[in-house]
Chains A and B, each alone.
Chain A
Amino acid sequence: MRILVCVKRVPAPGSRISITADGLAVDTAFLGFTTSPHEECAVEAAVQLVEAHGGSATVLTLGPAEAEEQLRYAASVGVSNAVLLATDGADWDPQRTAAAITAAITAIEDRDGVFDLILFGNESADSGGFQVGVRVARHLDRPIVNGIKGISIADGIATLERPTDAGQEVYELTMPAVAGVKEGINLPRYPTLKGRLASKKVQIAIIEPSAKPGGQVLVRLEPPAELTTSTTMLGNGPDAAAAVVDLLEELGVLR
């Protein structure tokens, strides 16, 4: 069983998010970075599948040299191979990203064999394009379904669960297949000390990506219109209970 997980390094803003002076990026001067949450869960899913069925998991990212941090993190929780498509740090549009990742996957598969399963996050936390996985799957002519919160594998079939408002949809994809995973599919483990040490030894294969820009072009980032609310203070501590219940009555939620 060979599994590939494609992840994105994103900043981790807290109570506010600020934009650089040229308006083209999030100001990350005071921010840490993380793996986009859906992909963090995709990594965990891959590790669990390898634990259950044997084989190996590979993590791949297209991003700046610093994205090594996210690759090592994946290695520290059980991924055995890592691939970096190193860019100069500027965000690549979805078509370009997908083309570069497809080329890299094709090159790796030509050498080492086909990935039975390729996992993407449903959408990246920052740019939210909802398409890189679908484009890669199309280029490779493999089936893909997005929004996946359950994966089980048997007899060459990946059974995928997709929650909806009404319940759950089930898909059965013949492998090799691709899935777009959502947070909630599992609770990602934390790295152990042993895992962290082992991750330092994992070789990172560096590929220089090349692909033409696509047709979606970022012009400028802007903060959303802030609704200026003035907060009404209902009081301090348990003494505020009467004022809170007055409010609930007024809003008609107390029936």
Chain B
Amino acid sequence: MSGAVLVVLEHDRGTIAPAALEALTAGRALAAQLGTTLEALTVGSNGDSLVADAESFGADVIHQAHHALLTDYNPEAWGEVVAQMITATQPAVVLATGTDRGNEVLAQAAARCDSAFVANCLTFEPGQPGGTFGVTRVRWGGSLIERATVAGTGTGTGTGTATGTGTGTGTGTGTGTKLLTIAHHAVDASPAANPGAGTATVFEARLDPSVARTMIVARVERPAGVTLATAPVVVGGGRGVGSADGFAPLQSLADLLGGVVGCSRAVTNLGWRNHTDQVGQTGTRIAPDIYIACGISGAIQHWVGAMASKKILAINTDPQANMVTKSDYAVIGDLHQVIPAITAEIERRRAT
């Protein structure tokens, strides 16, 4: 039997990341496809508390990496632990979360193994003709899909050494450990029909003291409250808003609905709003119940940040704007007239 599918469980000092449950779900399906078992890795003893989650999502073995230096997140130390696990357990696949941390840790591990790493996969197609391992993955933040093949660790056909760089021949081969992350929201997290064996086993990592150099040294906590990423309503403004002051009516509407204001990159570049308000590929991905997009043309890079909204209402003077033709609802008109009218109507109904 081939090695296991090993899922690296992202956590922050013992609190599991929601994306880790998605990775377990995707890892379980991939393990079934490969006819192998699902295993999980937690880094640091404060991650020991994740056993129950891993078990209910189908993990048979949970490797708990321990070391005095693993008290908090540290990309180099985490990457080194993953690389050591690969050597120790020879998994078929290491799968992590397609998040800031997950992608960073697997990049660190891949750099250490000198092997390929494919970020933000959507689907897995192991066992392609010729023994290649295929994936589909996110490009352009989701505006394009890439089909790719990936080589495993130690498959350097050029040198043949255990730590050789990937193949020089143009296809990923079927041997060695594949290093992959699953794009956030590519699968819905769902526990296993039958929980896994959930056997916890401690892995004593060997870490050089120098890895301490990329440890978190301090944190600044944000005051609690709705954020752009979690708001139930987002009122977005684009270049059509016309000025920084022009956002006041959007803010009033957002306040009335318990939501927040978002914006396009054109607005950020003009200095009308802070980048923390930017929706899109290089901004925030939003998922509100409704996104009200005002004076935004709907460029692909904006759209990928908005498309997870449950409903989208576009307000635009141009009926042909991409935002209008792709949205669920639209009002054609000048946002400077439409938004105050909506606010007035809400206030009128609340007063009666």
Give A residues with C-beta under 8 Å from B.
13-17, 19, 26, 37-38, 93-95, 98-99, 123, 125-131, 134-135, 137-139, 143-147, 162, 164-174, 180, 182-184, 187, 212-224, 227, 229, 231-245, 247-248, 251-255
Contacts and interface: CB of A to CB of B under 8 A. Distances in A.
Given A166-B12, A232-B329, A213 B346 contact: no
Contact of A236 (B268, B269, B331, B345): B331
A150 B103 CA distance: 20
B322 A240 contact: no
Given A17-B300, A130-B119, A165 B229 contact: yes
A214 B140 contact: no
A170 B165 contact: no
A221 B214 contact: no
B111 A138 contact: yes
Interface stretch (B63-71, B198-206, B220-228): B220-228
B150 interface: yes
B149 A252 contact: no
B75 interface: yes
A237 B337 CA distance: 7
Contacts of A98: 111
A9 B136 CA distance: 24
A146 B100 contact: yes
Nearest to A213: B168
A134 B216 contact: no
Interface string B334-352: 1001101110111001000
A100 to B, nearest CB: 12
A251 B309 CA distance: 13
Contact of B232 (A170, A239, A253): A253
A134 B313 contact: no
Nearest to B112: A138
Given A15-B297, A241-B344, A128 B141 contact: yes
Chain A binding surface, main DSSP class: mixed
A-B residue pairs, 4 tightest by C-beta: A215-B166, A215-B151, A215-B116, A184-B275
Contacts of B218: 169-170
Contact of B150 (A126, A138, A170, A215): A215
27 contacts: A93-B116, A128-B120, A130-B119, A131-B107, A131-B110, A135-B110, A145-B104, A146-B104, A169-B218, A170-B218, A170-B220, A171-B214, A171-B217, A212-B158, A215-B165, A219-B146, A219-B148, A221-B139, A221-B145, A222-B145, A224-B144, A224-B145, A229-B326, A229-B328, A253-B257, A253-B259, A253-B290
Given A214-B165, A231-B330, A234-B330, A143 B219 contact: no
B108 A241 contact: no
Chain B: interface size category: 35 or more
A254 B221 contact: no
B115 interface: yes
Contacts of B155: 215
Interface in B310-326: 310-311, 313-314, 322, 324-326
Nearest to A231: B330
A131 B108 CA distance: 8
B338 A247 contact: no
Interface in B170-210: 170-172, 181
B142 interface: yes
B300 to A, nearest CB: 6
A251 B167 contact: no
A174 B210 CA distance: 11
B327 interface: yes
B120 A187 contact: no
Contacts of B117: 94, 131, 216
Given A125-B301, A217-B148, 4 more contacts: A131-B119, A170-B217, A187-B268, A231-B325
A232 B327 CA distance: 8
B330 A213 contact: no
